[in-house]
Structure 1
Amino acid sequence: MIWIRSILYWLGMAIITPPYAVFCILILPLPPVLRTRIITGWSRVLLWWLGVTCGLKGRIVGKENIPAGPAMIVCKHQSAWETMALQMVFPPMVFVIKRELLKLPFFGWGLKATSPIAIDRSNRSEAQRMLMEQGQDRIRHGYWITIFPEGTRIAPGERGKYKPGGARLAISLGIPLVPVMVNAGEYWPRNSFLKHPGTITMKIGKPIDTTGRDPLELTREVEDWIETELAAMPDRGPCFPK
């Protein structure tokens, strides 16, 4: 049954994504933030479809911690679920992504229309320069910024290296960090075709003031909060290591 449900989900995604990508190209002349609000409709539909086909839903804890002004969201990355769900919870945002994603057919077209901060991770000094330059531009246009500090999806029960680039950018922009914990990989594992039924938890922490802070110290504080909250989850999904 899980196989059938997962096939239905992927089939729906394959049907909706190409025309939506073309639509994204057509609305490029619109103001950036308005364009992003429209494009997030793709995520909203797919999350609804995920619940219908696979019985996989999400719950949000700590929405009262979302600040009024712009901020940098620093989120645990375990699956594709949070890339869609974050857009439903926070104000219009841009993701810090690897530049190669923009080359993907259809998906890359839509992604480019959301004005992401696309960096070349093979060149660290150039990547940091692009992060700072594009980050300032996105904040000026009214966006929030979302970064996955481990740089890639991490399997449940594992911990990647938290990089300080996001904290460094937040300090330079004078915006707070908002830590976010998710356990999506326990139901939707990395690179897995199957989606298991259940309820994913997203927990939002209190914003952290970056004024006068050291980027390494800030990164450790965010890491400690995310990993502590993840370890304290009372229930484990079907894909958590036994």
Structure 2
Amino acid sequence: MITALRSLAFMLAFYSGSALLVLTGLLAAWPWPRAVPAIATAWSRFHRFCARWLLGQKVRIEGDLPQGGYLYIVKHESMFETIDLLCLFDRPVIAAKRELLDMPFWGRIARLYGLIPVERSAGASALRTLRAAARAATEQGRAVCLFPEGTRVPHGETPPLRAGFAGLYSLLAMPVVPIAIDSGRLSPRGKFMKRAGTITYKAGEIIPPGLDRREAEIRVHAAINALNSCPLDPVRPE
């Protein structure tokens, strides 16, 4: 019962606040386009605030999370990390499926912020677009984040990486920071009920550029799945 009430409170507070922030972003975008990244960061911090104080979800980071000219490859289990990455890095550029950027209102803010649209069916053309956008972002000193599985996967599942990672790794010639996360244990995809507990990010060993593509894939796949053996946190007693 407590979990259901927490989840309902989170949904009402977060989505109501999100609507206000999107409206603010749309109003500010024309006269002050540079305000959009600040508004997006405020939205991410608001999300973490709601997750912490309404859902009872804390965040823990294991390992060193370097800032700078790296390609960050992140496990994808929940909506949580999609939004929370803006709390981890300074104005990160995130590759997202094009359908999200075509959403009314929110999609406009996402494009102004600088999210990279990924057209899954475009093949080599999509990879060239992704490479150009990633290079532009790194020239601005912004982190580039990619979810290599292509979609959210349940905690414990380890699907193969999509081909886009290997292609981008070779083309960008940047060091890679693989990041595991276990958000799906507490906020599973498509579920209303969200549990209290600790969501962990685990930064893996930096993978240098220039490795054989297969070796790079093996290292990244192992590192982003490093938290899959962790048991479910018990719900905190109320």
What is the TM-score with the length of structure 2 in the denominator? 0.88
Q: Indicate the percent of aligned positions where both proteins have the same amino acid.
A: 31
Corresponding position of 1:44 = 45
Corresponding position of 1:27 = 29
Corresponding position of 2:219 = 221
- Partners in 1 of 2:12 and 2:122 — Cα distance? 37
Deviation at 1:132, TM superposition (A): 1.7
- Partners in 1 of 2:171 and 2:147 — Cα distance? 18
Number of equivalences: 233
Corresponding position of 1:83 = 82
Q: Which runs of 4+ in 1 moved over 3 A?
A: 27-32
Corresponding position of 1:9 = 10
In structure 2, the CA distance between the partners of 1:231 and 1:21, relative to structure 1 (3 Å rule), is: closer
Corresponding position of 2:66 = 66
- What is the SS of the residue equivalent to 2:151? coil
- Partners in 1 of 2:216 and 2:106 — Cα distance? 33
- Partners in 2 of 1:28 and 1:56 — Cα distance? 36
- What is the SS of the residue equivalent to 1:74? strand
List aligned pairs for 1:1-242, cutoff 5 A. 1-25=2-26, 26-27=28-29, 35-62=36-63, 64-67=64-67, 69-210=68-209, 212-227=210-225, 229-233=226-230, 235-237=231-233
Deviation at 1:28, TM superposition (A): 5.7
- Partners in 2 of 1:224 and 1:52 — Cα distance? 33
Deviation at 1:129, TM superposition (A): 2.1
Deviations 1:60-94 (A, max 9, x none): 112x3414x31111011000111122221223211
Give the root-mean-square deviation of aligned CA atoms: 2.2
- What is the SS of the residue equivalent to 2:202? strand
8 Å Cα contact 2:72-2:178 kept in structure 1: yes
Deviation at 1:159, TM superposition (A): 1.4
In structure 2, the CA distance between the partners of 1:47 and 1:141, relative to structure 1 (3 Å rule), is: same
Deviation at 1:98, TM superposition (A): 0.8
- What is the SS of the residue equivalent to 2:121? coil
Deviation at 1:110, TM superposition (A): 2.8
Q: Which runs of 5 or more structure 2 residues have no equivalent in the other structure?
A: none
Aligned letter for 2:6? Answer: R
- Partners in 2 of 1:213 and 1:24 — Cα distance? 41
In structure 2, the CA distance between the partners of 1:204 and 1:187, relative to structure 1 (3 Å rule), is: same
- Partners in 1 of 2:206 and 2:30 — Cα distance? 32
8 Å Cα contact 1:91-1:144 kept in structure 2: yes
- Partners in 2 of 1:47 and 1:65 — Cα distance? 18
- Partners in 2 of 1:176 and 1:207 — Cα distance? 7
Q: Which runs of 5 or more structure 1 residues have no equivalent in the other structure?
A: none
